Structure formats: structure tokens, C-alpha cells
Amino acid sequence: MQYIYGTTDIKQRENSIVVLGNFDGVHRGHQKLFEVAIKKAKEEGLQIVVFSFYPHPSWIIGNAPKPLLMSRREKEETIKNFHIDILIEYPFTREFASVSAEKFFVDVLMKQLKAKVIIIGSNYYFGRNQEGNQYYLYQLGQKYQCKVCVVDTLKIDSKTISSSTIRDLIVKGDIQTANTLLGHPYMITGQVIQGKMLGRTIGFPTINIKTESDRIYPPIGVYATKIIVYNEEYWGMTNIGYNPTVNGTDKMIETHIFDFNEQLYNQEVKIYFYDFMRPEQKFASLDLLTEQLGRDKKQIQVFFKSLEK
């Protein structure tokens, strides 16, 4: 998959099917758009272009920047799994935000991407003041001889599948429902940094990852997680919080990987979240903390074994 970002020069030589969206989380609704695009690409012999923006438009316009479910790299790697030809993250600026829906349609989609088919979700808006909706897109398609395909919003158990819904679930700590809507486990990818190394002294060594200001995270607490290290999968338990037992002050992501005791400093790891286990607690002593970590580990092992049945 070709990944184009940081430039407005996105001109294509081949005709395209263009899938429009922000794709934060690459959830099941987004995946449905990709499925439709793949089917149409085979029927019409077109390349598939997934067109997104960076920064997220809410960071540039509006009063409430949305924290993201995924980093840019996580989004790129996830979309790559769906056999997309090109992913574009088009620069979103205040100047671009003032461009009309028709000008964006003509100058970007038609002239640069040579769009022959455009696919959107039914809740997608584009152009100045979000003037472009599915009905206006149909009109533009007829005017400029471009096919338009609108995919209805998906629901699971009466919950609308959207990035906003999933963000709300993550914030509440409802990881299992969020994962159901995502169609894959919520993940955090990061580079391992050196911590206080206290865990090693009590038999629970951890890897440490910094939190990022633009990301959304589950509530402070302990989670059942799986960790990908050197392309191998391990069970583990992850604490998001401040380590109150030892008077920690910085919010960190700390993961104890079961049956693993290698140094991973500066290595990139993926942490997949499966369930919330308990809130973070301040213990009166390290002995009490160690006892609780032992109980957490057993509970998480039982949890993962139950998933394998």
C-alpha cells in the first residue's frame, strides 16, 4: 500500500475508487466501506484510494478537539491489512476548511484522484461548514458523471458503530463492547522507555510507555492485555495510572508480560486491551501490592483461558 501524507500533490495516473472518511479506529463501519470498495474495484478495474485528513478536522475547526483512538502509524498499519492500494492523509488547514464541497469534489476528487466511484458512510460530511452530505454528493456525482455509493451506518445490539461511540466506551472502560464495535482489540503502540524498575524488585517487571496528549485512553486502572513482542504474542496485565503506592506523579502505561523477562528498552511493542480488571489502588505497603498483583495475574490468566475455549 502506498501511503501519501503531508502534501497536496496527490495526482494519480489511474482512475480510482475513492473512499472518504477520517477512519479513526478503523472500526467495523470503516471496514464495511473497504469491503464495498474492494468489490467494486474488481468489477470495474479501478485502484482503491482511501482519503483521510491530518490533523483531524476537529483540531483545526470547532472548540472541542477530539482525542484519537489510533496514532497515524496504527491507522496506516491497520488499513494496510485490507488490501487498499493508496492511503492519503491530506493536510487539513483553516484555508482548506473554507473550500466549498463542490470545489473539493472537482479539484481534489475528480482532477487529482480521477475518481470514477466515491464511497462514503451515510453520516459523512465534507466541504465548507459541512455543506456536503450524501444527498449533495449524489447531485455532484450526476453533474460530473461520477458514481456515488453511500453505505448505511452499522449497528450492533442497538449501538451505532462510530468513532464517537467507541471513544465514549473507551472513556467509560467498557473495553469489551468497544472491541466488538471496532472489530479488533483497542491497541496502544509505543516505544519502551526506562522506568523506576521497581517491578523487578517485587517479581513483576514491567515495560513502560509514555502517554500521548492527542490519544484517548481507558480510565486509570488494571487491564487484561495481550502484547506483541518480536512478532510473538504474550498475555499480560497493564496498569494505566500514576503508581500511587510509590507516590508516582506522571501518568504512565506499565505492562507486566507473563513468562517474559527480556530487556525491551527502545523497542516498539503493541498492547491490545481486552477487559478492565480493577481500578488503580494505593496500597499501604509493597507486600500488599505484590499480593494484589499475584491475584490480578491469576484472574487474567483465567480470563484468557476462557476466551480460548
pLDDT confidence bin for 249, thresholds 50/70/90:
low
Q: What is the mean pLDDT of the chain?
A: 93
pLDDT at 136 over 70: yes
Weakest-pLDDT range from 71-75, 194-198, 202-206, 255-259: 194-198
pLDDT at 245 over 90: no
Q: Boundaries of CATH 2.40.30.30 in the chain?
A: 185-307
Q: Boundaries of CATH 3.40.50.620 in the chain?
A: 2-159
The CATH topology of domain 2-159 is Rossmann fold (3.40.50)
pLDDT at 144 over 70: yes
Class of domain 185-307: mainly beta
Per-residue pLDDT tens for 28-87? 999 999 999 999 999 999 999 999 999 999 999 877 889 999 999 999 999 999 999 999
Return the pLDDT at 39: 96
Mean pLDDT of 285-309: 92
Mean pLDDT of 123-145: 94
Return the pLDDT at 108: 98
pLDDT at 137 over 60: yes
Q: Give one DSSP letter per residue of the chain, joined into a string.
A: -EEEES-S----SS-EEEEES--TT--HHHHHHHHHHHHHHHHHT-EEEEEEEES-HHHHSSS-PPPBSS-HHHHHHHHHTTT-SEEEEEE--HHHHTS-HHHHIIIIIIIIT-EEEEEEETT--BSGGG-B-HHHHHHHHHHTT-EEEEEPPPEETTEE--HHHHHHHHHHT-HHHHHHHHTS-EEEEEE-B----HHHHTT---EEEE--TTB--PPSEEEEEEEEETTEEEEEEEEEE--GGGT--S-EEEEEETT-----TT-EEEEEEEEEEEE----SSHHHHHHHHHHHHHHHHHHHHHHT-
pLDDT at 135 over 90: yes
